Structure 1
Amino acid sequence: WNGTAPIPVWTGSPRFRLSRGGNRQVNAAVHRIAITQWRGVGPGRDYMLRRIQRGDTKTSAIRALRRHLSDEVFRRLRLDQQQQVSASTTQPAIAA
C-alpha cells in the first residue's frame, strides 16, 4: 500500500530490501510521523529505543517504526470502515 513491507532478497542473505513502490505521498507522511514520534516522548520513542537495544541501527529502527505505524494506521482505517458499515446496516431507512 505505501511501500513499507519488506521484500525478501533471494541471495542467501537474511536481509530484506524495501519496495520503492506504493503511494509515495502516504509513505512520506508515515516517515514524518515516525520522525516526530522518534523526537518526542511516548510509545514511538520507546519502540525505537527497544529496537536499537536489540542491535538495530538507527536507520533500521526508523524503518521498523514506519512499518509499525503503517500497520496501525491500516488497522484503524479498517476498524473505522467496519464501524461505518455496521452503523449503516443497523439504522432504519428514513422514508421521505
Structure 2
Amino acid sequence: MAAPAPAARPAGPPASYLQALAAALERQKRYPEAARARRAAGTALLRFRVMRNGHVARWQIERSTGDADLDRAVADMISRVSLPAMPAEMSGESLEVAVPVRFQIR
C-alpha cells in the first residue's frame, strides 16, 4: 500500500513580489548624515503588514540597529514608502513581512 501524499502547503508570495517590496524600501532608505559622520552601522529587523493594495497597515522595528539615528531612518523609510499592490494570484487580504534593513559604510 502506498503512503498517503503529504498535505499541500500553501505557496508563499512570489519571489518577484518580495523583490519588488525590497526594492521599494531600498529606494526610500536614507543614511542619516550624523550616523554616517560617526561611521555608525547596523541592521534592523523591520516587520510590517502590507495590505492587498500596497498600503502598510502596521509596522514595528523588531530588532534595533543599536543606533537611534539609524532606527529613526528605518521608521522614516517605512512611513514614506509606496509599496506595490499584491499580485492577483496571491491569496489573502494582507501579507506579514520581516526584512533586514542594513546600514553600512562602504
Give TM-score scaled by structure 1 length: 0.31
Name the larger-Rg structure: 1
| Alignment TM-score, normalising by the size of structure 2 | 0.29
Higher relative contact order (CA 8 A, sep 6+): 2
More strand by percentage: 2
